[in-house]
Amino acid sequence: MAQTAEKFLLSRLSRAGFAGLIIIAIASALLGDPLMSAVAAAAAGVVISGRNFHPARKKQPWPAIQRLFFVVATGLTLSAFLLGPWSMTYWLYAVPLIAFALFQPVIAASLSLAVCVLVMAGTQWMTGLPDRHQLVSAFLLTLMLSGLLVFLREYKNRQLAPLRRTDELTQAASREYLSADLHKEIQRSEREGTDLSVIMVGLDTHVSDHEPAEDIRSILPRIGRFLHSQIRDFDTYYRVADLQFLIILPGISTGDAGNRADIIRSGLRTLLESHGLNLTVSTGIAGLNIGDDADSLQQSAAHALRRAQQQGGNRTQTYSAWSHTARSTTEHGGPAS
């Protein structure tokens, strides 16, 4: 709920900021200030091409377009040292904050330092401005505050990373908790004498290598929501790799897990086709056997999935603990021959 409220607030602020910058751009053009109008228009481009303005903006080429708008806006603002008005140079205070928001810290720091050098050089042209030296000190202070905010952001992310239970992209449980959660389920199954199965779900990307990686990644949130809709309240699913998920099914035998896996494969295939992706899905199933622990059960499911994909994909494989091989249960939605 907190993440939803944050995204809603940022979206509203982005739209309000975009509208304000457009108004400034139009008003400046009407008042005969083309440089101010151009800078405001470029800043509006930074806002509208950001993912806070629209979720689809996080995909390429929007991030590159947003950075290009930022570079143009910064260059135009720096030109105020030569062309005037000098009051526009105060817009440079926002450059470090925006740079650290758009670029990696190393790149952002390099850009900020480069702008700082240009600001110090540009003040030599502002002989008619008494407080020109204050501009340099204020910019350096802004740069230091930006660095402090970035440090606090990275420190917070590192501190909170172990506490995150879900993957932000797919809302699947975090992989860091998989072994511990699976160990608890194994103990409960052995104590109560009930079945326990796991399903490893993977997209067969090797079948359709022509699909762009960005298009595949963009569908992951919908895949996560679909998997969530297919499990019971006490089942859990985890994102174990970029395009792989593991589902823990307490009280489910391998045969019933195979039926569930086929339903999941069919539903995911329909979902992928509805978004224009010619991809298939394979699943690997492993049931709890004597002597299994969390690691061995995961490895069995992963081995079954790998075997399914090696045989062409679009099928479900069940791992046989006795023969140490993966036994095919279904292929292309039907019984294996």
Residue 263's pLDDT is 94
Nearest to 267 by CA among 217, 213, 306, 231: 231
pLDDT value of position 323: 44
The residue ranges of the chain whose pLDDT is under 70 are 1-10, 55-58, 84, 125-132, 160-165, 168, 206-215, 321-337
pLDDT, one tens digit per residue, over 78-90 is: 888 777 677 777 7
Q: What angle do CA 106, 110, 114 make, to 5 degrees?
A: 170
Model pLDDT for residues 245-282, shown as the tens digit of each residue: 999 999 999 999 999 999 999 999 999 888 888 888 99
- Cα 255 → chain centroid: 35
Long-range Cβ pairs for the range 151-158 (8 Å, 24+) = 154/105
Nearest to 258 by CA among 185, 310, 194, 195: 195
pLDDT tens digit string along 228-248? 899 888 899 998 888 899 999
With beta carbons less than 8 A apart as the criterion, state whether 317 and 285 touch.
yes
Is the pTM above the cut of 0.75? no
